[in-house]
Structure 1
Amino acid sequence: MSNINLIIEERAASIGKFMVGRLLPFRQKRMVGPFIYIDHMGPVKLNERENFDVLPHPHIGLSTLTFLFEGSIMHRDTLGNAVEIKPGAVNWMTAGKGIVHSERTPEYLRHSDKTMHGLQIWVALPKELEQMNPEFYHIDANQIPEWKEGPLQFKLIAGSAFGRKSAVPVHSKLFMIEIKNSSRQSVNIGHELYGEAGLYILEGSIESDGNRYEPKQLLVAKESTLCEFIIEANSTIYIFGGEPFAEERFIDWNFVASDITLIEKAKQKWMAQEFDKIKGDEIEFVPYPNLNKK
């Protein structure tokens, strides 16, 4: 991008027994458009005695977007959904006024070697929808718009851009775009973007204004309409963002809201174990981590 305002490096963070690379929130940039939280999971190899197990935990005021590059996760929630997600598909869960979910290695893979690699993303809800009823949607890989422009391969994972619209039922004006390529190429897509924009390099590199940027970096643009750069051969990048909200968002553990009192109520409700239970995953849960405010 010809107007890079901030470079955010992945920072190691723990989600239970699993380490991730955290990109958002960042002290100098809490959100990019409505995107408030981004974790890069893996790549990590797990043996027959190791499994990915994120125990039941609650959310309010946001939508979660799970997108895998490798591996498989079984999602369960208090709406009764039990859905396996595989690479290229999207799990889109809107917490609204409250939901509990777990994410685990599927039973048929628990005693074999496996790999886990993907993105876990939170998108804040508009103020008027923060207390909506929770929802869950699974979007298969073949429902995600994809197209080619010369050596560039595009996917519109979520939102609207390029005159296209993803099947992911988002609640605000946003975009999440994958770009892959086979040869070095100039890219200029600023005219397709709006609001704020960030670019995450998964593999390969990009060049902007004579500077080279490599994996595990999130580049935040000063202005999304000036999104222009050179992408090196065999690279994979993700561009995401959209219209920012007028109100500040507060984040405490897994809770997001424009009103801190909503977070306090959810926190007390979870500590009292008054949220609904997940059918088939009722016993274990993640306790509220006292004084752990991001």
Structure 2
Amino acid sequence: MSNLSTIIPERAANIGNFMVGRLLPFREKRMVGPFAFIDHMGPVSMGENENLDVPPHPHIGLSTLTYLFEGSIMHRDSLGFEIEITPGAVNWMTAGKGVVHSERTPENLRGTRKTLHGLQIWVALPKHLEFMEPSFHHTEKKDIPQFEIDGVSIKVIAGEVFGKKSPVPVHSDLYFLELKSGKRKKVKLGDYLFGESGLYILEGTVISEGNTYKPKQILVSKDSTLCEFEMAENTTVYIFGGEAFAGERHIHWNFVASEKETIEKARADWKAQRFPKVPGETEFVPLPD
């Protein structure tokens, strides 16, 4: 990745009953374009008596993007949606002024051995949309644009690049791409990308300017128009970024906002349980100190 400004290693974080690798935010780089938070979940193997159970918890000021490589998660939210997300599909939930959701192992997988592996991403909303009505959109794997350039398979998971547009209804100029290569390939994306750009190595090796980078690292480019790198054989990377917002975004727990007062109000509302409820759910994640 030419013109690298930041290399962010994956760091372990505890969420629910298993570990995830937290990638953003990072002290030296809080956001990349509108992307505010990235978690690498797993891969984790769960026994017959182990399940993912993240009770209802709130969000404001962002959209969540869930993308699985393996396994399955049952999503339930306060809008009334109950949808199982499977590998290659996209769950896109826009919190706006406030939404609540739970994430659990589906009933049909409880009591079985299973694996869970994927990415959970937060995309901050533009300031004028922070208080929009919440919404939810599920995109099936077959509807994600997929094509090949010089032997590299590319998916446009979200946003619009290469003249291809994902059906995921994003709220700002951004892109989230999957690149897979079975053979060693040079990749030049500078003519297609814009704004800030980051690269996450899921598997394999990336070579840039004589340096070699391995999985569990995010590389952040100083200038997306100079985005060039080499993928070794059997490498999968994710490219994400877009136009950065003017003004800072504050992140606290599950809340993203341009004003600290908005976060304080959300904290008080969750503590008093004034957020909408998830139908059929009575548990909830307590407000952290």
TM class by smaller structure? over 0.9
What is the deviation of 1:132? 0.2
Q: Over residues 173-226 of structure 1, what are the superposed CA-to-partner deviations in whole Å (9 max), with x where a residue is unaligned? A: 000010001100110011100000000000001100110000000000010010
1:95 aligned partner, one-letter code: A
What SS class does the counterpart of residue 2 from structure 1 fall into?
coil
Name structure 1 gaps, 5 residues minimum.
Answer: none
Amino acid at match of 2:147: W
Q: Which residue of 2 aligns with 1:42?
A: 42
Distance 1:13 1:136 in 2: 26
Give the match for residue 118 of structure 2.
118
Shift of 1:41: 0.1
2:11 alignment partner AA: R
Distance 2:35 2:150 in 1: 30
Kindly provide the amino acid, as one letter, of the partner of residue 129 in structure 1.
L
1:104-126 Cα deviation digits (max 9, x unpaired): 00001011000000000000000
Runs of 4+ deviating beyond 6 Å: none
Q: Within 5 Å, give how 1:94-133 maps onto structure 2.
A: 94-133=94-133
* Secondary structure of 1:97's aligned partner: coil
**In structure 2, distance between residues paired with 1:28 and 1:176:** 22
Aligned to 1:22: 22
The corresponding residue for 1:218 is 218
Corresponding letter in the other structure for 2:285: V
Q: Which residue is equivalent to 2:54?
A: 54
Counterpart CA distance in 1 for 2:130 and 2:262 is 9
Matched residue type, 2:276: D
User: Which secondary structure state, in structure 1, belongs to the residue aligned with residue 191 of structure 2?
Assistant: helix
Name the counterpart of 2:75. Answer: 75
In structure 2, C-alpha distance between the alignment counterparts of 1:99 and 1:86, rounded to whole Å = 22
The offset of 1:164, in angstroms, is 1.2
Residue matched to 2:194: 194
Hey, what does 1:288 align to over in structure 2?
287
Report the Cα distance in structure 1 between the residues aligned to 2:93 and 2:18, rounded to whole angstroms. Answer: 21
Moved more, 268-277 or 80-89: 268-277
1:234 aligns to what?
A: 234
Give 1:134's aligned residue: 134
Identity over the aligned pairs, expressed in percent?
65
Given that 2:16 and 2:52 are in contact with CA atoms closer than 8 Å, whether structure 1 keeps it comes out as no
In structure 2, the gaps of 5 or more residues are none
Aligned to 2:258: 258
SS of the residue corresponding to residue 244 of structure 2 reads coil
1:267 aligns with 2:270: no
Which residue is 2:65 aligned to?
A: 65
Q: For the aligned residues, what is the CA RMSD?
A: 0.6
Please tell me whether residue 161 in structure 1 is matched to residue 161 in structure 2: yes
Paired positions, count:
289
Secondary structure of the 2:266 match is helix
Q: CA deviation at 1:150?
A: 2.8
SS in structure 1 opposite 2:49?
coil
Does the 8 Å contact 2:75/2:101 carry over to 1? Answer: yes
For 1:173 and 1:289, locate their aligned partners in 2 and report how far apart those are by CA, in whole Å. Answer: 33
User: What amino acid sits opposite 1:287 in the alignment?
Assistant: P
How far apart, CA to CA, are the structure 1 residues paired with 2:229 and 2:278?
46
Deviation per residue, 1:117-155 (Å, 9 max, x gap)? 000000000000000000000000011000012321000
2-side partners of 1:280 and 1:236: how far apart? 39
| Distance apart, 1:277 and its partner CA | 1.2
Tell me, in whole angstroms, the C-alpha distance in 2 between the residues paired with 1:18 and 1:59. Answer: 21
- The code of the aligned residue for 2:263 comes to I
Give the structure 2 partner of residue 171 of structure 1: 171
The aligned counterpart of 1:182 is 182
1:2 shift after superposition:
1.3
What is the alpha-carbon distance in structure 1 between the residues aligned to residue 18 and residue 62 of structure 2?
22
Q: Which amino acid aligns with 2:71?
A: G
2:209 — aligned with what? 209
Shift of 1:15: 1.0
- Give the residue type in structure 2 aligned to 1:209: E
User: Partner of 2:194: helix, strand, or coil?
Assistant: coil
Secondary structure in 2 aligned to 1:142? helix
2: CA distance, partners of 1:48 / 1:274? 36
**Residue-by-residue CA offset, 1:250-277 (whole Å, 9 max, x unaligned):** 0110000001111111100000111111
Letter in 2 for 1:207: I
